[in-house]
Structure 1
Amino acid sequence: MTDRTKKNGAQWGAAAWVAGVLAVLAALPFAASGRLPDRLATHWGGATPNGSMPLWAAALLPALVWAVLALSIAFAGRRGGSPSGPWVGASLLSGGVFLAGAQASIVRANLDRTDWKDAASVGTGVAITAVVAVAAGALGRLAGRRAELPTGPIRPAEGDVMEIPAGERRVWLSRTSNPWLHLIGVLTGLVAAAGTAAAAGGLIGVEWALIAPFAFASLGMFAFASVQARVTEAGLEVSFGPLGWPARRWTAGNIVSARVENRRPAQVGGWGYRLSGLGTTVMLRSGECLVIHARKGPEFAVSIDDAERGAALLNALATKQQAGA
């Protein structure tokens, strides 16, 4: 998976998120128009509404604010040379969640009122929305920062076993992601978010049969759409998803050997975390995989870039452990 492909995948995911939030902001008031007054309360002084807008303005103004915000973030990110940096993802996540939650709170407050002055308070809804938005932003920043961790400098391996000079330590780090799985995760997440927003706005009941499957599908896609492999003196760690969880670990002493092998999805039964006659394979793209043969259990393979150096370093560490045993 090239850096350009990864960047395109991130950009498509961000674009889908922006478009989905835009649709929720604009469509939610119109979807409830039959149960709303001609003008909607849109501003409150404490628990009492003191400002209103016609329905079309209440629908389109937040959408316009979101569009300007998203374009500004994208423009600032490009000028800064990092269009998919941690602060960009954090801003888009927190901003989208907050605006969508606020819009749902406004619709619910005006629902089944004949006059906007009779609208209910939005204090609780906005407070909950703010907390969720901050949490979403923090997760987005954490995921973005983790994705920018630098790869430790390692000279190319000269064979199957890397030569490590006495007194030196070597670290190897590599990542791979599948932009299509990320895009599917965004789309299924948007369906769950739209259902949640409609329930928060009072348009429908909490339809767990709709929300839960799409939410779990989105979480599953994000959890296994990217993988990071790291080799240190301790051994091999393979972690999944933007937050590096879940993870699998093998100590250097428990690895018999490591190698590079070309594998295709058809060989292992498809994409993602697969179990087959070849053992366990984390398949995110066709091509070279880092394959380890552990002392216990089936072989484990992960489709990762620069697998040759990772295998060479693992073999060197395993040999060192065996020599010291």
Structure 2
Amino acid sequence: MKDRGYRGLRESTAAWGVAGWAAGILVLLVTMPLAARDRLPRRLATHWGASGGPDGSLPLWAAKLAPALIWAVLVGGVACWRVVRGWAGVTLLPSGVLLAGAQASIVRANLDRSDWREADSVTAWAVATVAVAAAIGLAAFMTHHRQKSLPAGESADGRLAMEIPEGERRVWLSRAANPWLSLTGAVSGVAAVAAWLVGVVGLTELHWALVAPFAFVSVLVLGCSSVRARVTERGLEVAFGPFGHPVRRWAAEDIESARVEHRTAAQVGGWGYRLSGLGTTVMLRGGECLVIRAKGKDFAISVDDATRGAALLNSLNVGHPRKP
């Protein structure tokens, strides 16, 4: 039941993030040429030959809607194929970057030209866009592959201490995510990309005072939108964000004790990574939290199945006495 509930939460959270990314890219594809329509020719160069010069064109309305239609079909196909469980990020992240970069390249090349045949070359932009999209796709694939290969925790009786037979190794793994934080991070990321592209393309001046805050909020919120806690014989590892970075680790011998507490966002001062009188809390949903005491400080994570995690940590502490 718990595993089924966790899968449902993960899929729901991923769906929110995918929806925010999909909507943001769609708006970006349509609005870029629309915003520059007074500075573009009636037909836009949309294809370049081997020589680097334009050899094909489309009317403005078609150049605006064609990539948006491709994106809508791709997103629809992903949704129908139900790859939102993990492969949606691998598919849609690089595809969105590729389409947005291509649209930006086309607008920039046609900007302030009276005829599409006078459009600039897009070779440098195309190479840069493909490189960035490939890097993002590789990072998303590696993250998805690593999450699939992580071992699942073994069942136990739920006590806050458990006996581990000699020679046997046990692993506990739990994740938690907040769909609203995932959506906020995705939308902020799209806003940062949009503000940067509009400036780079030449529609307006590049305002880093606008790009930087959106990018900072996106990175910060996405980093606090999900968490993965893992207990092995080495101790506790907590990985943040969709890419599993940054990571905090506590050696088994440094953990004085582990327990379970019921905490709410109001108690710790809000959502995400919070510092309060209760110590540090990673608050993604109210309720059961795994709390460890290490080096005189408390650290809590709002994850499911915290009782098993605490029991395993306390048992490991028996085999790894604290250093004097």
Fold match (TM-score > 0.5): yes
- The within-5 A match list for 1:143-222 is 143-222=143-222
Q: Is the 8 A contact 2:153 2:173 kept in 1?
A: no
Deviation digits for residues 188-224 of structure 1 (CA, Å, limit 9, x no counterpart): 1111111122123211122111111001100111111
Q: Give the letter aligned to residue 178 of structure 1.
A: N
Instruction: Check if 1:66 corresponds to 2:65.
Output: no
Deviation digits for residues 103-158 of structure 1 (CA, Å, limit 9, x no counterpart): 10111101111111111101111111111111111122223334434543422235
Aligned-residue Cα RMSD (Å) equals 1.8
Q: How many Å separate the matches in 1 of 2:158 and 2:65?
A: 61
Q: Secondary structure at the match of 2:169?
A: coil
Q: How many Å separate the matches in 1 of 2:147 and 2:177?
A: 10
Which residue of structure 2 aligns with residue 308 of structure 1? 307
Which residue of structure 2 aligns with residue 321 of structure 1? 320
Q: How many Å separate the matches in 2 of 1:256 and 1:92?
A: 44
Report how far residue 95 of structure 1 moved.
0.8
- The within-5 A match list for 1:223-242 is 223-242=223-242
Instruction: Check if 1:40 corresponds to 2:41.
Output: no
Which residue of structure 2 aligns with residue 85 of structure 1? 86
Report how far residue 84 of structure 1 moved.
2.5
Deviation digits for residues 154-210 of structure 1 (CA, Å, limit 9, x no counterpart): 222352211111211111111111111000001111111111221232111221111
Q: How many Å separate the matches in 1 of 2:323 and 2:114?
A: 81
Q: How many Å separate the matches in 1 of 2:84 and 2:128?
A: 29
Q: How many Å separate the matches in 2 of 1:261 and 1:267?
A: 12
Report how far residue 8 of structure 1 moved.
1.7
Which residue of structure 2 aligns with residue 121 of structure 1? 121
User: Where do 5+ consecutive residues of structure 1 fail to align?
Assistant: none
User: Where do 5+ consecutive residues of structure 2 fail to align?
Assistant: none
Q: How many Å separate the matches in 1 of 2:145 and 2:224?
A: 18
Q: Secondary structure at the match of 2:84?
A: coil
Q: How many Å separate the matches in 2 of 1:143 and 1:186?
A: 17
Q: Is the 8 A contact 1:147 1:242 kept in 2?
A: no
Q: Secondary structure at the match of 1:148?
A: helix
Which residue of structure 2 aligns with residue 10 of structure 1? 14
Q: How many Å separate the matches in 1 of 2:216 and 2:322?
A: 46
Q: Secondary structure at the match of 2:228?
A: strand
Which residue of structure 2 aligns with residue 259 of structure 1? 259
Q: How many Å separate the matches in 2 of 1:98 and 1:232?
A: 40
Q: How many Å separate the matches in 1 of 2:296 and 2:199?
A: 47
Q: How many Å separate the matches in 2 of 1:324 and 1:116?
A: 73
Q: Give the letter aligned to residue 179 of structure 1.
A: P
Give every structure 1 segment of 4 or more consecutive aligned residues whose post-TM-superposition deviation is greater than 4 Å. Answer: none
